[in-house]
Amino acid sequence: MGYTAFERAPLGLGILMLSLGAVANDQVLNTLQPASPAACIALTSNAERLSCYDQLFKVTPTEQADLVSQTQTIKDQDSAAVSLTEKVLDTVIPTAAAPIHPTRSFLDQRWELSSDSKLGTWNLREYQPVYLLPVFSTTDKNERPTSPNPDNSVKMGEEQNLKSTEAKFQLSFKTKAMENILGDNGDVWLGYTQSSRWQVYNEDESRPFRETNYEPEASLIFRTNYEILGLSGRLLGLTFNHQSNGRSDPLSRSWNRVMLNVGLESDNFALMLRPWYRLSEDSSDDNNADIDDYIGRGDLTAFYRWNEHDFSLMLRHSLQGGSDAHGAVQFDWAFPITGKLRGHFQLFDGYGESLIDYNHRATYAGLGISLLNWF
């Protein structure tokens, strides 16, 4: 069987692809249209933040150094003002959450929710984590993928010759296409995520890419402000999501979903709830008719930051009982190494680690590096 030159590329190519996240950040520096100093403050990178100030104030290098000092004073004053506002709101309007503060809100930093955090349109921004796991191992290889559609089931005797250990990497970014469609609220975002499982150690099969999932989406995101169970409700959105693996039968897999997005947070903790509805397809052409019975009908992702260590936990379920109850859990830990480079550990158990394995249960463990995390 033949493979492209890209599939024969060394592992260094995966690392090069991972660096696209850093390239995207450089592009942001050239196109930012900050609405206020608060929008610049929300940027986590020192270089990006200073460039943002340049775009806003067009300052000279000498003035820029003075501005950095002044900004710290502004941040301290803002923190005191926000603390006072929170106390007033707790007394007068107990059901309202505190105002969004760019430097303290994870969701605002990622989605430019408050009016003071807007950075304009068509800037490449972070989305899902960007990482490379040179070691990604499973307990149960899926060498003969199946589906209710006989055209999408590998026949006996045609099993793939797979290694239990491979490499995995993920690229992800988003950009705002429209801003403030309802007053000072409501933004349209376009996102793209790609994750690949590379049999880089499988020399006998010419090191093929076992599975690549492509996930473009469009989202309408609104800022919210309410309090529930001690969490501040910050985000409400609606997303059209397509996911496919771009392969021919019998290995082709794809589906379309409409998702509801609910984002809540408190201090160094954030929570994203995403129930979804699968859009129906012609049964004769459906590659994976029962995919929502395995990958599920919604997921819940919790994020927590502690001393520069980022932890996330994803829970997914079919929302059915008994023998029809299926789902998955994924734990990620990103820890500092140097600068923006971080170590990354990932543990997955359940159904649907990738689309080709949507109805196959397995446990995966991976270790590598990451450039970007959830927040």
Average pLDDT (353-373) is 95
In the residue annotation, 101 being an active-site residue is answered as no
Cα 73 to Cα 48, 52, 70, 77, 266: the distances in Å are 19, 18, 5, 6, 24
Give the Cα separation of 161 and 205 in Å (integer).
7
With bands split at pLDDT 50, 70 and 90, how would you rate the model's confidence at 340?
A: confident
Contact yes or no for 334/310 (Cβ under 8 A): yes
Is pLDDT above 70 for 237?
yes
With bands split at pLDDT 50, 70 and 90, how would you rate the model's confidence at 294?
A: very high
pLDDT (0 to 100) of residue 30 = 53
Q: How many residues make up the chain in this entry?
A: 375
Indicate the domain borders of the chain: 32-117, 122-372
Average pLDDT (267-293) is 93
Strands 165-178 and 130-138: antiparallel
pLDDT (0 to 100) of residue 129 = 95
Strands 341-351 and 254-266: unpaired
In the residue annotation, 242 being an active-site residue is answered as yes
The structure tokens listed for 40 are 């610049």
Is pLDDT above 50 for 24?
no
Measured torsion, CA atoms of residues 282, 283, 287, 293, in degrees rounded to the nearest 10: 110
Which runs of consecutive H residues, i.e. helices, occur in the chain? 12-18, 20-31, 37-41, 46-57, 61-92, 106-111
With bands split at pLDDT 50, 70 and 90, how would you rate the model's confidence at 76?
A: low
Average pLDDT (32-37) is 75
Among the options 45, 137, 153, 242, which is catalytic?
242
pLDDT (0 to 100) of residue 74 = 62
Residue 309: which of 287, 331, 292, 280 has the closest Cα?
Answer: 331
With bands split at pLDDT 50, 70 and 90, how would you rate the model's confidence at 374?
A: confident
The domain defined by 122-372 folds into Outer membrane phospholipase (ompla); Chain C (2.40.230)
Residue 194: which of 171, 168, 166, 167 has the closest Cα?
Answer: 171
Among the options 45, 115, 137, 244, which is catalytic?
244
Find where tokens 């608060």 sit. 38
Is pLDDT above 90 for 25?
no
> Is the pLDDT higher at 156 or at 330?
330
